Chains A and B, each alone.
Chain A
Amino acid sequence: NAGVTQTPKFQVLKTGQSMTLQCAQDMNHNSMYWYRQDPGMGLRLIYYSASEGTTDKGEVPNGYNVSRLNKREFSLRLESAAPSQTSVYFCASKAANTGELFFGEGSRLTVL
């Protein structure tokens, strides 16, 4: 039981490049989330998916797109990376019975 797995762990991009962060969970959770973490800003919600086939914007969706590929997988795409997107990105899934979020290990993205 791996929990929530996200890749890559580290990535350096140049301004304007695109990339996709991958996330998968093996806990059969319906809801999945993408957060970004910046110093002094806490965890801010980018997008979430309440169930397979649905996605919704969070607090800071601009510059990102998501895909809920199936119940297990929820990916985050940066189409044209900007330095302001330098951050640590966390994927999470939610246990419906308790509301607890289970986070992945994080992906550190640097945009030059």
Chain B
Amino acid sequence: GENVEQHPSTLSVQEGDSAVIKCTYSDSASNYFPWYKQELGKRPQLIIDIRSNVGEKKDQRIAVTLNKTAKHFSLHITETQPEDSAVYFCAASIGAQKLVFGQGTRLTINP
């Protein structure tokens, strides 16, 4: 079935450095790609999303890029801060109603 692969599963970076998380998807019809952040013990919350008619989107320190040909998309966080420590999930749309999530990346920012 349709799936989303996310890498790496854990990522540790120094405060101030950049972090990159990558995802690949299998359904060529997917057209919506959100990223969710989940802090420890909390619910997932949307941080940024991109649609298939756009190659890149930026919101302050976070950006997402999409390569439809290769079926992969990435999350970039610059100038990382301690509050960026969390689990990040990518997702891809399947049809009009469903989202399939990646396995998650635990990001740790070291002071």
Render A53-68 as a binary contact track against B, CB cut-off 8 A, 1 for contact. Answer: 0001011000000000
Is B62 in contact with chain A by the CB < 8 A criterion? no
- Number of A-B pairs whose CB atoms are under 8 Å? 52
**Chain B, 53-72, contact with A by CB distance < 8 Å: what is the 0/1 string?**
00000000000000000000
Size category of the B interface is 20 to 34
B1's nearest neighbour on chain A, judged by CB, is: A59
- Determine whether the beta carbon of B103 is less than 8 Å from that of A99: no
User: Nearest chain A CB to B69's CB is how many angstroms away?
Assistant: 23
Where chain B touches its partner, the secondary structure class is strand
Question: What residues of chain B lie closer than 8 Å to A31, measured between beta carbons?
Answer: 97
Q: Choose from B43, B91, B103 the contact partner of A104 (Cβ within 8 Å).
A: B43
Given known pairs A90-B44, A99-B49, A101-B46, the reply for A40 and B103 (CB within 8 Å) is yes
Residues of A close to B43: CB separation below 8 A: 90, 103-106
Judged by a CB distance under 8 angstroms, whether B73 is at the interface is no
Task: Compute how far the CA of A39 lies from the CA of B99 in the bound complex, rounded to whole angstroms.
Answer: 19
User: Is B78 part of the binding interface, using a Cβ–Cβ cutoff of 8 Å?
Assistant: no
Residue of A48, A99, A100 ringed by the most chain B CB atoms within 10 A: A99
- By Cβ-Cβ distance, the 10 closest A-B pairs, closest first, are A103-B43, A43-B101, A42-B101, A42-B103, A100-B46, A50-B97, A42-B104, A103-B44, A99-B32, A105-B43
Having A42-B4, A42-B101, A58-B98, one finds 10 other A-B pairs with CB under 8 Å, namely: A31-B97, A40-B103, A40-B104, A45-B98, A45-B99, A50-B96, A50-B97, A98-B49, A99-B49, A105-B43
